Structure 1
Amino acid sequence: MINSKNVIPIVGIHGWKGNRESFRLIADLFKLENAEWIIPQAPYKVKENQYTWAKEIEEGRYEVRDSIQYLNHFFNDEVLKKYDPTDVHVIGFSQGAATCYEFVLKMPFQFAGVYPIAGFLRDFKSGRPILHEKQRKTPIFIGHGISDEIVPVESSKTIFEMLKKESKKVEIILYNGGHKISMSYIKTIKNYILNT
């Protein structure tokens, strides 16, 4: 296991119809010289070079078993064998942010930070906790553009209110713009990552 603080392990989870390479474009925006970006690719193929973490099997019902199995393998075998979870940062955009809420924050250990951007929950009404009890100290920085027409900003505001009931380490950063990642958000979380 690498314990050197010189290397910053960051998992980047792409959104709907994205892929490993599309997230590398986001990673490049951070300009973190010492980062090791570890980027999974969703298992469900939409079409050539486009993937999804949840496959709709009928209206309102999604298949996610392959994603759960893949992400368990990915984190346990490709990330956590090399790094302590308290050193690992996880960034997810759109459906990747939903994956942060629905999978990453349910894992039984604390991360260095989780950064869901322009995300959502598939089931707001489940009443189930979002966080695993061991994640209550994981810092969570939610980001969302106030003019997002694909995933309304209300989604992140609602999730923020839900998470505040489970953790004191959650913040929401709203920024001008639509369904994208703002440079102001990147600057804020880059500063946090570099100072943890």
Structure 2
Amino acid sequence: MAASNVIIWLHGLGDTGPANAALRSFFTKPQLKSAKWHFPTAPRSPVTCNRGAVLTSWFDLPEIPITAASPSCQEDVLNAVRGVHTMIDDKVASGIDASRIFLCGFSQGGALTLASSMLYPETLAGAVVFSGWVPLDSNFIEKISPKAKKTPVFVAHGDADEVVHFAAGQAIPPILAQAGVKHEFKAFRGLGHSISPEELAHLERWLISNL
């Protein structure tokens, strides 16, 4: 894998980028050795579902657990999307083609990954959604550009997730299918709201297949 490939990882609610940096050690295949990983940290802001407590959060969350019918804070999500687009644009400005940038995320970061990759005007190398959901109204698919529709998406979700319900993850593939986006959905039996070594092994294979 060329050194110009980039993997941006978006953490979950209340977490930080540096706390997730050890994830890169799971990816040992030669094709990924020279990948440039980036672990940004979300800004701190009051979060409604945590009774207004200030946490690192990409956007506000009205409720937890999150179901397929949970309300969303549209403008807040779109503002976060613009922030992620700036991250990607900065990499592109440094000479890295968008088609060599993978966007990945867990939980809230996974939901933001989905929205950001589909609303980006160019084709990315791929988007990875772990334990995420659709954080915008389904009509957002009308805003997906022809180039963004060429970004492959991998969605992974544990069927025992009590924080972001499995059904919320299952709601992603029909929307991607409707938009004509190439995608893969994989359920992990007995997995709660966490990332397992099995998931990371599958992700490693998926990343390599989309280099």
TM-score relative to the length of structure 2: 0.78
Gaps of 5+ in 2: 47-52, 64-70
Secondary structure of the residue that 1:136 maps to in structure 2?
A: helix
Secondary structure of the residue that 1:160 maps to in structure 2?
A: helix
Choose from 95, 102, 105 the match for 2:118: 105
Quote the Cα distance in structure 2 between the aligned partners of 1:102 and 1:153: 18
Structure 1 residue aligned with 2:50: none
Task: Return the letter of the residue paired with 1:127.
Answer: N
RMSD (CA atoms): 2.6
Choose from 188, 198, 204 the match for 1:175: 188
- Using the TM superposition, give the Cα deviation of residue 22 of structure 1 relative to its aligned residue in structure 2, in angstroms: 2.0
Choose from 171, 176, 185 the match for 1:163: 176
Q: Which residues in structure 2 correspond to 1:183-194 (within 5 Å)? A: 183-194=197-208
Structure 2 residue aligned with 1:42: 42
CA separation of 1:132/1:28 partners in 2, compared to 1, >3 Å: closer, same or farther? Answer: farther
Structure 2 residue aligned with 1:25: 22
Q: Which residues in structure 2 correspond to 1:38-187 (within 5 Å)? A: 38-45=38-45, 50-55=55-60, 62=73, 63-64=76-77, 67-77=80-90, 79-82=91-94, 83-124=96-137, 126-129=138-141, 131-176=144-189, 177-187=191-201
- Using the TM superposition, give the Cα deviation of residue 56 of structure 1 relative to its aligned residue in structure 2, in angstroms: 5.2
Task: Return the letter of the residue paired with 2:7.
Answer: I
Task: Figure out how many residues of one structure are paired with residues of the other and give that number.
Answer: 190
Quote the Cα distance in structure 2 between the aligned partners of 1:85 and 1:19: 24
Secondary structure of the residue that 1:103 maps to in structure 2?
A: helix
- Using the TM superposition, give the Cα deviation of residue 29 of structure 1 relative to its aligned residue in structure 2, in angstroms: 2.9
* Conservation of the 8 A alpha-carbon contact between 2:133 and 2:164: yes
- Using the TM superposition, give the Cα deviation of residue 173 of structure 1 relative to its aligned residue in structure 2, in angstroms: 0.9
Quote the Cα distance in structure 2 between the aligned partners of 1:8 and 1:65: 26
Task: Return the letter of the residue paired with 1:194.
Answer: I
Task: Return the letter of the residue paired with 1:38.
Answer: H
Secondary structure of the residue that 2:199 maps to in structure 1?
A: helix
Secondary structure of the residue that 1:193 maps to in structure 2?
A: helix
CA separation of 1:106/1:66 partners in 2, compared to 1, >3 Å: closer, same or farther? Answer: closer
* Conservation of the 8 A alpha-carbon contact between 1:42 and 1:67: no
TM-score relative to the length of structure 1: 0.83
Normalized per residue, the structure richer in strand is: 1
Question: Could you tell which deviates more after superposition, 140-149 or 67-76?
Answer: 67-76
Question: Could you tell which deviates more after superposition, 37-46 or 80-89?
Answer: 37-46
CA separation of 1:109/1:175 partners in 2, compared to 1, >3 Å: closer, same or farther? Answer: same
* Conservation of the 8 A alpha-carbon contact between 2:102 and 2:127: yes
Quote the Cα distance in structure 1 between the aligned partners of 2:170 and 2:82: 29
Gaps of 5+ in 1: none
Secondary structure of the residue that 1:12 maps to in structure 2?
A: strand
- Using the TM superposition, give the Cα deviation of residue 144 of structure 1 relative to its aligned residue in structure 2, in angstroms: 0.4
